[in-house]
Amino acid sequence: MSAMRVTQADLVPLARGAAVLGGGGGGDPHIGRLLAERALAQHGEVDVVPVESVPADACVLPIAMMGAPTVMVEKIPSVDQIATALETLARYLGRTPTHVACMEAGGVNSTVPFVAAARLGLPLIDGDAMGRAFPELQMVLPTLGGIQATPMSIVDEKGNKGVLDTIDNHWAERLARSATIDMGCATIVSLYAMTGAQVRDNFVPGTLSLCLDLGRTIERARAEHHDPVRAVADRLGGRVLHTGKVLDVARRTATGFARGEAIVEGLGDQKGSRMVLHFQNEHLLAELDGQLLVTSPDLIVVLDTDTGEPVTTEALRYGHRVSVVSAPCDERWHSPAGIELVGPRYFGYEVDPVRFDGSTSAA
């Protein structure tokens, strides 16, 4: 696979596809796209390079927005804030970064790295540390590979900044979450500094390319009057679980997360059925009439039934006609260590993991 140059026009389908992989989380894709468009207009297009082409000794600095998606909608970061987070970590490490990377393939966190890459004139890696979005800092494949989250930088919109150096990745999440709450529930962080060799071993390759392709798939299905929901399910190798109308959403911001449940009442041939979605930034469980259909770590994606547009957890509203799609995650998440890190029991749901197709996880 060769490098691709991402233009402002590419950011519309890319952000749409990123919101699909976000599984309801990862922050508002519209905000991230606007930030990235402005950065590319000011600083030029961004080269996105394949994981396998990154030199083994490269200095790779991932960057992300941390906090509750409901707050991120109102506290939009600046280009300077995003660049400062990466520059602060580089200065602490005493290294010159060679590449920028995404921590997660979801919403704003697939587009914020474009801002840093454009501003600093660095290439962006076509991959991420999850293959989807998860709500906590330690919930990445590099954790399974023994990579340390810290040192990590954290910057707020007021100009406060700091560096954390913790004993393990769970403590990085705990202390960064506390700081983020004090900073107004939305910060920019740079963490998991890696070499190119570590990126090749611990990243999901090709996720930005997949985001772009998913966005274009939705556009193409609409233009050709095909079902965009089915097109997304087919592209991800998943299945359509349910179609209906949002009956109720119970949403609250607690401990720096957007937590809640959404009830989707079936329409058409699914009339009379009821799906309950449980989310913590991202959708984590989907139940249909009391039967558990799929859980984290596999993807649960909510799409507008007519347009195929992904619907984030903070955008779910009463009366919205939506379809719910399940899709497989990177297989490494179904290892025993992966299930321990991101399975339903970690989030407080006393159930065993269920894969996207209804089968039981091998773990």
User: Where a domain ends, among 153, 177, 207?
Assistant: 207
The terminus-to-terminus CA distance of the chain in angstroms comes to 33
187 plus 97 within the same structural domain: yes
- The reply to whether 214 falls in a domain is no
Instruction: Please list the residues that pair with 299 across neighbouring strands.
Output: 327
| Overall average pLDDT of the 10-34 stretch | 90
192 plus 268 within the same structural domain: no
167 plus 104 within the same structural domain: yes
User: Where a domain ends, among 207, 242, 259?
Assistant: 207
- The reply to whether 312 falls in a domain is yes
- The reply to whether 348 falls in a domain is no
On the question of pLDDT at 29 being above 50, the answer is: yes
With a pLDDT cut of 70, the percent of the chain lying above it is 95
Per-residue pLDDT, 68: 66
Distance, in Å, from the CA atom of 214 to the CA atom of 220, rounded to the nearest integer, reads 10
Please classify residue 329 by burial: count the beta carbons closer than 10 Å to its beta carbon, then call 0-12 exposed, 13-18 middle and 19+ buried: buried
200 plus 317 within the same structural domain: no
Residue ranges making up the domain that contains 188: 4-207
Question: Which has the higher per-residue pLDDT, 260 or 321?
Answer: 321
- The reply to whether 182 falls in a domain is yes
Rg of the chain over Cα atoms, rounded to whole angstroms, equals: 19
14 plus 96 within the same structural domain: yes
| Overall average pLDDT of the 274-284 stretch | 94
Question: Which has the higher per-residue pLDDT, 164 or 257?
Answer: 164
| Overall average pLDDT of the 128-148 stretch | 96
Model confidence over 87-130: pLDDT tens digits?
999 999 999 999 999 999 887 899 999 999 999 999 999 999 99
230 plus 203 within the same structural domain: no
Distances (CA, A) of 289 to 115, 219, 268, 283: 43, 32, 16, 17
| Overall average pLDDT of the 249-268 stretch | 83
Q: How far is CA 245 from the centre of its chain?
A: 25
- Contact of 68 with 175, CB cutoff 8 Å: no
On the question of pLDDT at 27 being above 50, the answer is: yes
266 plus 315 within the same structural domain: yes
- The reply to whether 49 falls in a domain is yes
On the question of pLDDT at 70 being above 70, the answer is: no
Token pair in block for residue 72: 């991120």
Report the 10 Å Cβ neighbour count for 1: 12
242 plus 318 within the same structural domain: yes
Instruction: Please list the residues that pair with 61 across neighbouring strands.
Output: 100
Model confidence over 152-210: pLDDT tens digits?
999 999 999 999 999 999 999 999 999 998 998 889 999 999 999 999 999 999 999 99
Q: What is the CATH number of the domain that holds 197?
A: 3.40.1610.10
Model confidence over 282-326: pLDDT tens digits?
999 999 999 999 999 999 999 999 999 999 888 899 999 999 999
- The reply to whether 287 falls in a domain is yes
Per-residue pLDDT, 363: 45
Indicate the length of the chain as a whole number: 363
193 plus 56 within the same structural domain: yes
87 plus 151 within the same structural domain: yes
Q: What is the total count of domains within the chain?
A: 2
131 plus 231 within the same structural domain: no
Q: What is the CATH number of the domain that holds 270?
A: 2.40.390.10
- The reply to whether 200 falls in a domain is yes
Question: Which has the higher per-residue pLDDT, 255 or 217?
Answer: 217
170 plus 234 within the same structural domain: no
229 CB-near residues (< 8 Å, 6+ apart): 240, 243, 303, 305, 308, 323, 325
Token pair in block for residue 2: 């060769």
Half-sphere exposure of residue 349: CA atoms within 13 angstroms, side-chain side:
25
- The reply to whether 215 falls in a domain is no
Per-residue pLDDT, 151: 98
